Amino acid sequence: MHPNERLVRDTYDAMARGDGRAIAAVLGPSTRWVIRGEGSLAGTYTGPDEIFAFWKQVAAKTAGGLNLELQDVLANDHRAVALVTVRGSRAGRELDEQQVALFEIAEGTFSSATFIYERPEAYDAFWID
């Protein structure tokens, strides 16, 4: 298994366990987390503090967070692509969408991650307040 595939898989495992230390270890001060779309949480979050604040908002709005089921990872020396099923519920709405996560990786940390949904309109509708 390529080291960057292992990095992505280990990060998703850490998210599932709620292991903030393991996640923080792969985020640098300039890591960018880009959430595409028009929903209330869309935007770019930079650095561990903003990224963790984003995850706290997700948890608060969904009564605990989203379920991320990693389907597959493709990786090379500079990037990785993760195919993920994202499920959750909030305010009487259900989310069950396919996501592509594009990771740029340097020296064992994420430089950036961009999250794109198969049906962005469904993802956006889930987050509208």
Do the beta carbons of residue 14 and residue 31 sit within 8 Å? no
Q: Domain spanning 3-127: which CATH class is it, in words?
A: alpha beta
Element holding 105 (H helix, E strand): strand 93-106
**pLDDT tens digits in sequence order for the chain, 129 residues long:** 999 999 999 999 999 998 999 999 999 999 999 999 888 899 999 999 999 999 999 999 998 889 999 999 999 999 999 999 999 999 899 999 999 999 999 999 999 999 999 998 998 899 887
For the chain, the helix, strand and coil percentages under 3-state DSSP, each to the nearest 5: 35, 45, 20
All structural domains of the chain with their residue ranges: 3-127
**Cβ-contact 101, 84 below 8 angstroms:** yes
End-to-end CA distance of the chain: 41
pTM beyond 0.85, yes or no: yes
